[in-house]
Amino acid sequence: MSQTNHEHGHDAHGASHGTLKDYVIGFVLSVILTVIPFWVVMAGTFESRATTVAVVLIFAVAQVLVHMVYFLHMSPKSDGGWNFMAMIFTIITLVIAVVGSIWVMRNLESHMMPHAMPGEQPFVPPSARDVSRE
């Protein structure tokens, strides 16, 4: 039997690996993208809760992108673009699942939860009425 010399080292697969500089940049960006939303929430920077949530979500998306680029080394160039295509497919599938779930839950809430009409008393479950009399 002939033995062939197969190289199975870490760099043999042709994937790009980051340098120490890339990891440090990724780490510093991750810390910054964590501290700023923390400060926004703890300091009560915005009076509107919706604005605060929007800012935190924007920083969360930026943090995900930083992790994908600096730590997972995902780019359109890696593995001939297949990693990037898989990531795009995953994002689309995730968005469809999340938006669809929220849509269905909101639709169910609006059609199944009892709402008071103008001039009517709001619906109170019987168990809540019993507790309020005591």
67-99 pLDDT, tens digit each = 988 988 887 777 777 888 888 898 899 899 999
Contact, 60 vs 37, CB < 8 A? Answer: yes
Q: Do 22 and 65 belong together in one domain?
A: yes
Q: Do 64 and 90 belong together in one domain?
A: no
Predicted TM-score (pTM) of this structure? 0.59
Residue 51 resides in a domain = yes
Catalogue the long-range contacts made by 65-72 (C-beta closer than 8 Å, 24 or more residues apart): 66/26, 66/29, 66/30, 66/33, 67/26, 67/30, 69/26, 70/18, 70/22, 70/23, 70/25, 70/26, 70/29, 71/18, 71/23, 71/26
Q: Do 85 and 38 belong together in one domain?
A: no
Q: Which domain holds residue 35?
A: 16-73
Contact, 36 vs 77, CB < 8 A? Answer: no
Q: Do 34 and 63 belong together in one domain?
A: yes
Contact, 123 vs 116, CB < 8 A? Answer: yes
Residue 27 resides in a domain = yes
Read off the pLDDT of each residue in 109-127 and give the average, rounded to a whole number. 69
pLDDT of residue 17 exceeding 80: no
Domain count, the chain: 2
Q: Do 31 and 80 belong together in one domain?
A: no
Q: Do 95 and 47 belong together in one domain?
A: no
CA distances for 1 relative to 4, 73, 78, 91, angstroms: 10, 39, 36, 48
Q: Do 24 and 61 belong together in one domain?
A: yes
Predicted confidence band of residue 39 (pLDDT cuts 50, 70, 90): very high
Residue 54 resides in a domain = yes
Residue 49 resides in a domain = yes
Read off the pLDDT of each residue in 2-10 and give the average, rounded to a whole number. 53
Q: Between the ranges 61-65, 71-75, 115-119, 127-131, where is the mean pLDDT highest?
A: 61-65
